Amino acid sequence: MGQKINPLGFRLGTTQSHHSLWFAKPKNYSESLQEDEKIRDCIKNYVQKNMKISSGIEGIARIKIQKRIDLIQVIIYMGFPKLLIEGKSRRIEELQMNVQKKLNCMGGKLNIAITRIANPYGHPNILAEFIGGQLKNRVPFSKVMKKAIELTKQAGIKGVQIQLAGRIDGKERANVYWIRKGRLPLQTIRAKIDYCSYTVRTFYGVLGIKIWIFVNEE
């Protein structure tokens, strides 16, 4: 039987790094972990509410959190930061206030920075959001898959696999459909592979999207 493992966890310490960097005593570990989850949820909700672009993509690739004794540094990696940067100082201040309200028990200082990603559709989270937005608008899934493959080609990646599961196109029975282009060496640890799993609520029910992207080999 095939033993499945998360490609990101499998490569930690080689081609992957942690998205949260901090140390805590065992009794405080769960609190710090919940704090990270609150920060990420608050940022995603704010972006979804205020800065949704026409294609329905939030454009957040990942959120990196670094904690020190008196400072929490949050770096948001975005594919489409235009709408956030237009009113940069005001919007970031508003976002910082929202996060601090959410973490009312926090005594340290919070600093939020935004970093732009060169090829947005070369990141699985942004690509999954694009696919999810198209499926919500009832675009035929085969057309969506082909368009997604085209976008990854333009981003200049070496290989991609997209898996879609659920009541695709409103069919009675749930199916699993997948498409692959290029190389995808999942068992090679030195191969840098990005992965994400994403759920989208459509008119027919919940669909699951999984994306593997082969970036390069070190």
Tens digit of pLDDT for each residue in 171-181? 889 999 999 99
Question: What is the domain range of residue 23?
Answer: 15-114
Same-domain check for residues 105 and 152: no
Same-domain check for residues 64 and 126: no
Question: Residue 54's pLDDT is what?
Answer: 46
Residue at which a domain ends, from 82, 114, 146: 114
Same-domain check for residues 63 and 126: no
3-state secondary structure the chain: CCCCCCHHHHCECCCECCCEECCCCHHHHHHHHHHHHHHHHHHHHHHHHHCCCCCCCCCEEEEEEEECCCEEEEEEEECCCHHHHHCHHHHHHHHHHHHHHHCCCCCCEEEEEEEECCCHHHCHHHHHHHHHHHHHCCCCHHHHHHHHHHHHHHHCCCEEEEEEEECHHHCCCCEEEEEEEECCCCCCCCEEEEEEEEEEEECCEEEEEEEEEEEEEC
Residue 42 domain flag: yes
Residue 64 is part of a domain; what is its CATH number?
3.30.300.20
Residue 6 domain flag: no
Residue 7 domain flag: no
Residue at which a domain ends, from 85, 114, 143: 114
Question: Residue 47's pLDDT is what?
Answer: 83
Same-domain check for residues 93 and 127: no
pTM: 0.85
Same-domain check for residues 147 and 208: yes
Same-domain check for residues 70 and 143: no
Enumerate residue ranges in the chain where pLDDT < 70. Answer: 1, 51-58, 81-89, 104-108
Residue at which a domain ends, from 67, 96, 114: 114
Residue 39 domain flag: yes
Same-domain check for residues 109 and 21: yes
- Note the pLDDT tens digit of each residue in 36-52: 999 999 888 888 877 65
